[in-house]
Amino acid sequence: MTYRVDCLQYANWSEKVFRQMRQGGVDAVHVTISYHENFRETVLNIEKWNRWFEQYPDLIIKGRWAGDVRTAHETGCTAIFFGFQNPSPIEDDIGLVEVLHDLGARFMQLSYNNQSLLATGCYEAEDPGITRMGREVIKEMNRVGMVIDMSHSADRSTIEAAELSQRPIAITHANLHDWQPALRNKRDDVVRAVTERGGMMGFSLYPHHLKDKSDCTLDSFCAMIATAAERYGVEHFGIGSDLCQDQPDSIVEWMRTGRWTKTVDYGEGSAAAPGFPPQPGWFADNRDFGNIEDGLRKIGFASAEVADLMGDNWLRFFEENFTPTNIG
């Protein structure tokens, strides 16, 4: 059985987007439900999703375990898995890791661009690595079955997280730095540290992470995937599109600045064009996952490898890492 799994989206959710997921045959999506929200605000976002699950039971189901991906596939729905782009939902309370896992959270980034209580973000000038609290939270995330996500984290912090974690970690949405040298993309030593310990990386379709940005070609994107597969092993990769469909440009300000600054930090954008960049024409929304499959076949991946990259690798990773353990 072949599955389609997208390990990161932050769309402006609607019935239209949910229906496009079904038209694209997407079996599971890891959705961001917190950028800078505190615990209570994150719970409100979970409530919002619970209402959508109630309203659209023929389109989406709440994902908690890997088996929910199979259930979604068999029933013609998309399983929705919750994740955070910042550890702000746990505030300064390690006990909230388990509480949030119980509420359905399965991924948490240890930092988002800036220094957090746990780790360093990729925009900081200095990277002292994982903090004292970070070490404890990694152990707790390992114990309860919440995946450590280092997509926006700095190099040393990511390598240390991979070394400290007793379970594989993830970079859910990024690309190779030597293909497109964005701060968010990952250098060889970082990707190697994650994949050598069984971790996963999802390739991003967000234009600022792409070579030639919005003009990136499907051939170029798939060639980058082929390079990664050759270097590190095809079993460690999937898609994490970072699709921000239908979001108003104003949401970029919340993503980049939260409450930590009074000035606007456009991050990988620019002051001249602070909004969302246009998607490449071959990946406008969830209906276009078939284009990626076609591109992977064209560049020489075997059918089984295409299936692995489009979702089967993520499904295996979910099976191994969402359940609680006595580790630590």
Read off the CATH number of the domain in which 298 is found: 3.20.20.140
In a domain, 328, yes or no: no
Q: How high is the pLDDT of residue 28?
A: 98
Task: Kindly tell me the number of DSSP H helices and DSSP E strands found in the chain.
Answer: 12, 9
pLDDT band at 266; cut points 50, 70, 90: low
Q: First vs last Cα of the chain: how many Å apart?
A: 34
pLDDT band at 250; cut points 50, 70, 90: confident
In a domain, 52, yes or no: yes
What is the C-alpha separation between 122 and 145, in angstroms, rounded?
25
**Residue 113 phi, psi (nearest 5):** 70, -45
pLDDT at 327 over 50: no
Residues facing residue 149 across a β-bridge: 109, 170
Give me 88's structure tokens. 């702000």
pLDDT at 159 over 80: yes
Mean local confidence (pLDDT), 253-278: 69
In a domain, 62, yes or no: yes
Provide the residue range defining the domain that includes 267: 5-321
pLDDT at 247 over 90: no
pLDDT band at 294; cut points 50, 70, 90: very high
Q: How high is the pLDDT of residue 271?
A: 41
Q: By the 8 A CB rule, do 148 and 170 touch?
A: yes
pTM (2 d.p.): 0.95
In a domain, 304, yes or no: yes
Mean local confidence (pLDDT), 84-106: 98
Q: How high is the pLDDT of residue 269?
A: 46
Q: By the 8 A CB rule, do 297 and 220 touch?
A: no
| Dihedral, CA of residue 179, residue 184, residue 190 and residue 193, to nearest 10 | -120
Q: How high is the pLDDT of residue 268?
A: 52
CA 149 to chain centre: 7
Q: How high is the pLDDT of residue 156?
A: 98
Mean local confidence (pLDDT), 110-126: 95
In a domain, 38, yes or no: yes
What is the C-alpha separation between 131 and 13, in angstroms, rounded?
35
Number of separate domains in the chain: 1
Q: By the 8 A CB rule, do 124 and 154 touch?
A: yes
The percentage of the chain sitting over the pLDDT mark of 70, rounded to a whole number, equals 96
Q: By the 8 A CB rule, do 242 and 182 touch?
A: no
Q: Which residue has the higher pLDDT, 291 or 271?
A: 291
**Residue 271 phi, psi (nearest 5):** -60, -30
Give 57-65 contacts, CB < 8 A, sequence gap 24+. 59/15, 59/18, 59/19, 59/21, 59/22, 60/18, 60/21, 62/104, 63/28, 63/104, 63/106, 64/104, 64/106, 64/322, 65/318, 65/322, 65/323
Integer Rg of the chain from CA:
18
AA letter at 152: H
In a domain, 327, yes or no: no
In a domain, 263, yes or no: yes
pLDDT band at 239; cut points 50, 70, 90: very high
AA letter at 13: W
pLDDT band at 257; cut points 50, 70, 90: confident
C-alpha separations of 166 from 116, 145, 317, 327 in Å? 21, 11, 14, 7
The percentage of the chain sitting over the pLDDT mark of 90, rounded to a whole number, equals 88
Mean local confidence (pLDDT), 214-222: 98
In a domain, 103, yes or no: yes
